[in-house]
Amino acid sequence: MGREGYAPLFETKEAKGRIAYKMYAISAFVSVCMIWVYRAPHVSKEGVRWVWFGMFGAEIWFGFYWILTQSARWRPVYRSTFKERLSHRYEDRLSGVDIFVCTADPTIEPPTLVINTVLSVMAYDYPPEKLSIYLSDDGGSDLTFYSRLEAS
């Protein structure tokens, strides 16, 4: 049980079997360092020195970026939420929600798809008195009107 005597809203699990990725990351780090070690003392003395510095700068930047991204990849975790617990815990404090489904052209946006969207929104696990769904048909299509009529 979490704070306030409630069960937690999410669960965190650490990913397993990441040894192969860690070995790859270590070998890539060694390779990046070897490129840096090669580039640093071999600055070209011929007339295209600025190109050499540009390449060295790009390699340093992308190597540094790669090292930074490893912080998120080294120990990945997976979080799964318990959605049913959210509505039970905070049902009295949930705010009202207005959802607008807009459509204009029944040939581009088939009425079946629009009505399925409205029906999917109506199936949300949210208190019905706090959920309002609006269907806006800017094209004023008879086809959308009759499909809404059939769905209701």
Q: Estimate to the nearest angstrom the gap between the alpha carbon of 79 and the chain centroid.
A: 13
pLDDT, tens only, 83-115: 777 666 666 777 888 999 888 877 888 888 888
Report domain extents, the chain.
19-74, 94-151
- Residues near 88 by Cβ (< 8 Å), separated by ≥ 6? none
Model's pTM, two decimal places? 0.42
Cβ–Cβ contacts within 10 Å for residue 115, how many?
20
pLDDT, tens only, 25-83: 888 889 888 888 887 777 666 666 777 788 888 888 988 888 888 877 888 888 888 77
The reported pLDDT for the residue numbered 4 is 59
The reported pLDDT for the residue numbered 47 is 60
Residue of higher predicted confidence among 5 and 67: 67
The reported pLDDT for the residue numbered 43 is 65
Residue 97 tokens read as 């929600």
The reported pLDDT for the residue numbered 99 is 92
Residue 82 one-letter amino acid: F
In this structure, is the dihedral angle defined by the CA atoms of residues 11, 17, 21 and 23, taken in order, positive or negative?
positive
Cβ–Cβ contacts within 10 Å for residue 57, how many?
11
Residue 14 one-letter amino acid: E
Cβ–Cβ contacts within 10 Å for residue 123, how many?
8
The reported pLDDT for the residue numbered 1 is 47
- Residues near 46 by Cβ (< 8 Å), separated by ≥ 6? none
pLDDT, tens only, 14-28: 888 778 888 888 888
Report, in this order, helix, strand and coil percent for the chain, each rounded to 5: 55, 15, 30
